[in-house]
Amino acid sequence: MMRAIPAVALLLASLACHAETPQQIRQIYVAEATSQQAGFAPSAKRGDAFFRQRFAINDKMPACTSCHTDSPLNAGQHAVTGKAIKPLAVAANPDRLSDPAKVEKWFGRNCKEVVGRACTPAEKSDFVTYLSEVR
Q: How many residues does the chain have?
A: 135
Helix (H, G, I), strand (E, B) or coil at 125: helix
- Which helix H or strand E contains 50, and what residues bound it? helix 44-52
Q: Which of 23, 80, 94, 95 binds other proteins (CB under 8 A)?
A: 80
- The least distance separating other proteins from the CB of residue 15, rounded to whole angstroms, comes to 21
Footprint on residues 11-50 left by other proteins (CB under 8 A): none
Segment interacting with other proteins (CB under 8 A) among 7-15, 22-30, 104-112, 122-130: 104-112
Burial bucket for residue 91 (CB in 10 Å: 0-12, 13-18, 19+): middle
- Interface residues with other proteins (CB under 8 A)? 58, 60, 78, 80-83, 108-109, 112-113
